[in-house]
Amino acid sequence: MEGVPTHQGLLDALPIAACVTDAEGRLTYCNHAAAELLGYQPKPGSQSWHDRCTLFWPDGRRMDFDESPFAMKPGKDASAFGDAILAERPDGTRKALTVSTTPTDHDGSTGYIHLLTDVTDRRDAEIASARLAAIVSSSDDAIVSKRLDGTVTSWNDGAARIFGYQPEEMIGRSIRKIIPPELQAEEDDILARLCRGERIGHFDTVRLAKDGQRVHLSLTISPVLDGSGNVIGASKIARDITERKRSEELQHLLFNELNHRVKNTLAMIQAIASQSLRTASKPAQFVDSFNGRVNALARAHDLLVQHEMKGAGIHDLVRDQVSLGAANERRVTYSGPGLLLESRTAVHLALVLHELATNARKYGALSIPEGALSITWKVDVRHGRVLHLHWRESGVANLQAPRKRGFGTTLIDRSLEANRGEVHLDFGADGIVCDIELPLPEEERYSFTEAAIGANNENLVRKGAGSARHGKRILIVEDEPLIAMELESTLASHGFEVVGPASHVESAIRLIGQERLDAALLDANLGGKPVTDVAEALAEKGVPFAFGTGFGREALPAGFRHVEIVPKPFETDRLIDTVDRILTSGDQPATVVPLKPKRKS
C-alpha cells in the first residue's frame, strides 16, 4: 500500500500497539494490537480516523487532535507527552496510554511511528494508592504498619494525634514502645497469629501515649502479604475509645450512685415517717409534718438536679425552704455569699432550714403579722472554711422555750452533727435566734451576692380566704388516681368545690366546655401526651389555672411556660396559696401562640 513503510511486517508481528502517520498527521498504518487497544480499526489515509476515539489530558480536559502526539510535525517537541493520556473508545471505556513517537526519517519529513502502551492498570493502581494515602493521612484513627519483628514502617497523623509521637519518633522503632509492660505478651500473641495469616478483628486494649497517659483503643490488625502471598508485616487500625470507656465507667458509677441515692432517700423517708409518727399527737399533725419534710427533700432534690447532682446553691436552698418560692414576702430577708454546697450537705441543710421555717410559721415570727425573719451567712476562712449562718426572728413577744425536745430540734442537731457542724438555738425575748456553723470543703469557690425574699405572709394572704372559697369550682386534671384523690380531698377540705377529676385530654376538654369553672389545676402531662389542647381550651374560656408537675418549665406547653407551677409532690400550704392567688388576681394565662381554629360542625 502506498505510504506504508517497508517495516510494516515487523510492526504487524509486534505485540506492542503501533500506528504510523505521515507528516500531515494522516494515518497510514495501524497494527492489530493498536486497533484492539483503541477499540476499532481505523482506516488509513485520513486525519478523521481519531474521531471515534476521543483523547483527554491526564487531568480530564479534552485534547484536540492537533495537540495530540498523533499530530506530530517536523520540529514539534514530543517530550510533552511523557505522561499518560486518556483515550475514550467508541464503547465509552477509557484507556490510559503512553505514546512514544519516533520519526520515520531523520527529521520527520515523511512521517512518524507511534508506539502505544496501555498503562490503565498502573494508573488505576496509582490513583487507588493516592486515594488510600489521602484516607490514611486524614483519618482520625491511628493507622500503622509494622514488620513481623514489630518495627514500625508507617505512622499516620491520626497515630501522632492519639499517641503524641511524631512519625520520625516511631518509624524504624519497635511498636512495643507504646505497649504497657503488662501487655507485652499480647503483642507476642498478635505476631504469632499474623504469621499464620490470621486477621485479628476488633478487640479493646490499652496503649501508652508519649505523656504517659493510658489510651483505650479498639484495634483491628490485618497481615500484609508480598506478591507471593507470604506474610511480611501487619497493618493496624486503632480507634481511640478512651472517652467511650470513660462514659461507660461514668454510667456504671452513676447507676450505682443512683441506686445508692434512691435507697438512701427511701430510708430517709422511712425514718421521717417513723419519727414524725412518734411525735405526732393526732393523725392530722402527722400528715402535715410528714408531708412537709418529704417536700423539703423534694425541693432540695430539684436543686441538685439543676446542678447535675453536684450540689445546690445556698440562695436557692434558703428561698425554697423558707419562703416556699413566694415572690414578694417582704418580711423575710436573706443575704450572704453565693455558695454551691455539695449534695449531702445541701440535703441536710435543707431539712434544718425546713424545720426552722416550719416552727416560725406555726409558732414564731411568721405566725403573726408583726413578725419578721432575717437570715444572713458568711464564710470564715481563718481556720479552714466554715459557713456561719445566723437565723434571727423578731416581733414575737413572750416567747418561751418548749418544755420537751421535739423531733424537729433533734433532726437539726443530728443533721449538723453528721456534717461536723454545730448549732446554737436561743429562745430570746423577741424571737428565736439560731446560729449554725458548718465546715466546708476547701476547694469550693464563692462570690458575694445579696438577695431578699418578699411577699405578704401566708397568714395575711389567707385572712378571710375561707369564706371567699365557698362555691369556687376548681377543675382537677390529673391522670394519677392517688394524686387526684389527694388533690380532691385537700381542696374540698379548704372549702372548694371540685370538678372532675379528669384523667385524660378528652374528658378535660369536655368538662371545660360543659361546666362552670373558677380555676383549674392542670397536670403537665397526661398518659405521656402533652396538655396543650387543655391549656388552650382553658385560656380561650378565660379560666385561670396553674400547672401541677414535677418537671420544670421547659416541659410545659409552648406558649404557657409563664404560667405558675405548683411542684410535685404537693405541699398543702403552697397548693392552697396558689389556688387562692390565681382566684384573687383573676389573671388568665393568655397563650402566646395562636389558638387552634374551631372545627365547623
pLDDT in tens, 435-454: 999 998 875 444 434 343 33
Is 287 a domain residue? no
pLDDT the model gives residue 259: 65
Residues 114 and 151 in one domain: no
**C-alpha cell recorded at residue 318:** 434558703
Least confident range from 165-179, 215-229, 345-359, 384-398: namely: 215-229
**C-alpha cell recorded at residue 555:** 416541659
Residue 223: band (very low, low, confident or very high) from pLDDT cuts 50, 70, 90? confident
CATH number of domain containing 570 = 3.40.50.2300
Residue 326: band (very low, low, confident or very high) from pLDDT cuts 50, 70, 90? very low
Rg (CA), the chain: 43
In what helix (H) or strand (E) does residue 167 lie, and over which residues does it extend? helix 167-170
Is 83's pLDDT higher than 80?
no
Residue with cell 410535685: 568
Is 48's pLDDT higher than 90?
no
**C-alpha cell recorded at residue 132:** 488510600
Choice between 263 and 358, residue whose per-residue pLDDT is larger: 358
How many domains are contained in the chain?
4
Residues 311 and 429 in one domain: yes
CA 323 to chain centre: 34
Q: Is the dihedral of CA 363, 368, 370, 372 positive or negative?
A: positive
**How many beta carbons lie within 10 A of that of residue 40, not counting itself?**
14
What type of residue sits at position 305?
Answer: V
Residues 449 and 472 in one domain: no
Residues 189 and 104 in one domain: no
Q: How far apart are CA 201 and CA 219, in angstroms?
A: 7
Residue 264: band (very low, low, confident or very high) from pLDDT cuts 50, 70, 90? low
Residues of the chain with pLDDT > 90, as a percent, come to 17
pLDDT the model gives residue 138: 67
- Buried-state track 47-71, b at ≥16 Cβ within 10 A, e below 16: bebbeebebeeeeeeebeeeebbbb
pLDDT, mean of residues 9-32:
81
Is 251 a domain residue? no
Residues 314 and 455 in one domain: yes
Angstrom distances, CA of residue 11 to CA of 3, 113, 218, 541: 15, 10, 59, 100
Least confident range from 85-99, 138-152, 450-464: namely: 450-464
Is 593's pLDDT higher than 70?
no
pLDDT the model gives residue 168: 92
Is 467's pLDDT higher than 70?
no
Residue 598: band (very low, low, confident or very high) from pLDDT cuts 50, 70, 90? very low
Is 596's pLDDT higher than 50?
no
Is 9's pLDDT higher than 70?
no
Residues 391 and 503 in one domain: no
Beta-strand runs (E) in 251-371: 312-313, 332-341
Is 473's pLDDT higher than 90?
yes
* Cβ neighbours for 137, distance < 8 A, ≥ 6 positions apart: 156, 157
pLDDT the model gives residue 195: 83
Angstrom distances, CA of residue 396 to CA of 370, 376, 409, 580: 8, 19, 19, 27
Residues of the chain with pLDDT > 70, as a percent, come to 82
pLDDT the model gives residue 2: 45
- Buried-state track 447-476, b at ≥16 Cβ within 10 A, e below 16: eeeeeebebebbeebbeebeeebeebbbbb
* Cβ neighbours for 149, distance < 8 A, ≥ 6 positions apart: 174
Beta-strand runs (E) in 291-419: 312-313, 332-341, 372-380, 385-394
Is 89's pLDDT higher than 80?
yes
Residues 312 and 447 in one domain: yes
pLDDT the model gives residue 539: 93
pLDDT in tens, 481-507: 657 877 888 898 889 999 988 888 888
Residues 524 and 447 in one domain: no
Q: How far apart are CA 500 and CA 601, in angstroms?
A: 26
Choice between 108 and 361, residue whose per-residue pLDDT is larger: 361
Residue 542: band (very low, low, confident or very high) from pLDDT cuts 50, 70, 90? very high
What three-state secondary structure class fits 283?
A: helix
Is 255 a domain residue? no
pLDDT the model gives residue 463: 41
Residue with cell 430539684: 302
pLDDT the model gives residue 509: 93
pLDDT, mean of residues 110-120:
85
pLDDT the model gives residue 457: 36
Q: How far apart are CA 542 and CA 522, in angstroms?
A: 15
pLDDT the model gives residue 77: 53
Residue 538: band (very low, low, confident or very high) from pLDDT cuts 50, 70, 90? very high
Is 562's pLDDT higher than 60?
yes
Angstrom distances, CA of residue 463 to CA of 46, 154, 403, 460, 546: 114, 84, 30, 5, 22
pLDDT the model gives residue 328: 39
Is 16's pLDDT higher than 90?
no
Q: How far apart are CA 266 and CA 254, in angstroms?
A: 18
Is 133 a domain residue? no
Domain that holds residue 182: 139-240
What three-state secondary structure class fits 556?
A: coil
pLDDT in tens, 274-303: 777 777 778 877 888 888 888 888 888 777
* Cβ neighbours for 330, distance < 8 A, ≥ 6 positions apart: 454, 455, 456
* Cβ neighbours for 377, distance < 8 A, ≥ 6 positions apart: 314, 336, 337, 387, 388, 389, 390
What three-state secondary structure class fits 261?
A: helix
Residues 484 and 576 in one domain: yes
pLDDT the model gives residue 394: 92
Is 253's pLDDT higher than 80?
no
The DSSP code sequence of 54-102 is: EEE-TTS-B--GGGSGGG--TT--GGGG-S-EEEE-TTS-EEEEEEEEE
Residue 565: band (very low, low, confident or very high) from pLDDT cuts 50, 70, 90? confident
Is 280 a domain residue? no
Residue 137: band (very low, low, confident or very high) from pLDDT cuts 50, 70, 90? low
Is 3 a domain residue? no
Is 264 a domain residue? no
Residues 39 and 183 in one domain: no
pLDDT the model gives residue 8: 66
**C-alpha cell recorded at residue 174:** 519497635
Q: What are phi and psi of 569, to 5 degrees?
A: -70, 145
In what helix (H) or strand (E) does residue 121 lie, and over which residues does it extend? helix 120-138
**C-alpha cell recorded at residue 480:** 394519677
Choice between 303 and 359, residue whose per-residue pLDDT is larger: 359
pLDDT the model gives residue 447: 40
pLDDT in tens, 28-41: 888 888 888 888 88
CATH number of domain containing 364 = 3.30.565.10
Is 234 a domain residue? yes
Angstrom distances, CA of residue 143 to CA of 140, 172, 232, 238: 9, 15, 17, 6
**How many beta carbons lie within 10 A of that of residue 405, not counting itself?**
11
Residues 522 and 572 in one domain: yes
Could you say which DSSP state residue 174 is in? B
pLDDT the model gives residue 373: 92
Residue with cell 465509552: 92
Q: How far apart are CA 521 and CA 544, in angstroms?
A: 9
pLDDT in tens, 400-417: 777 777 778 878 887 888
What three-state secondary structure class fits 338?
A: strand
What three-state secondary structure class fits 509?
A: helix
Regarding beta strands 214-225 and 231-240, do their DSSP bridges make them parallel or antiparallel, or are they unpaired? antiparallel
Q: How far apart are CA 66 and CA 21, in angstroms?
A: 13
Is 249's pLDDT higher than 80?
no
Residue 329: band (very low, low, confident or very high) from pLDDT cuts 50, 70, 90? low
Residues 468 and 373 in one domain: no
